[in-house]
Amino acid sequence: MNGQIGLFVAALLIGVLLPPGIQHPPLPPIPPKPSDRLAEILRQTTATKAVDKTAQLALAYSRAFAESGEDRLQSGQSFAADRMAEAADALLHVAQHQQHLQTGGGPKGPPPPAPIQDQLQRTYFRIQQADYFLSQARDSRAASFPKWSRDFYQLAVRAYERHDLVAADENAKSAEDIVRALENLAQAAASPQGGAGKDPL
């Protein structure tokens, strides 16, 4: 019996005290609490410059859904609040893509040509889900989102055809982010008790 305990302790020590040069894999980051996430998104909607009317609209939607997330959180609906935060974050990205269009690309600069065609194909299939997610979200504020995502996709295709890879990339990302917002609104609506009342503990 003592021998088995000794082997167990030794195995634990081997797992903790690795030889020099061998490191433990990093632990995954702890996700922020919905309250912190929503507060950060609201801060960013104020700090992010609206470079055009599209960015201004995206920031307004982002702020509205983040505020709805705070309302859900105060009602004890933490899952719905988290999904609202994701929707708000997706729309914040749309505004940031508009900034990138004016600065010649995101932090990594213009994308390479090869992946853009694959991205456009992925975006095409993604926007086909927009109407379904809207029907599940049951949120009239998002009524224009399916068309909005399709419009961004068309802008991306036209940009690709004229070899403007930055515009193709940023517009395709915007189309996908709008569908991501719709998907998260649908998940918020499908949360326990149909999005009303408190989450069960």
- pLDDT, mean of each 10-residue run, the chain (201 residues): 49 48 62 84 93 96 97 94 96 95 75 84 97 97 98 97 94 98 96 45 26
pLDDT for res 107 = 67
pTM strictly above 0.85: no
Q: How far apart are CA 88 and CA 62, in angstroms?
A: 4
* Closest C-alpha to 99, from 133, 58, 139, 138: 58
pLDDT of residue 200: 26
Tell me the two tokens of residue 161: 């055809």
Strand, coil or helix: what is 182? Answer: helix
Q: Residue 13 has what pLDDT?
A: 46
Query: What is the per-residue pLDDT for 199?
Result: 33
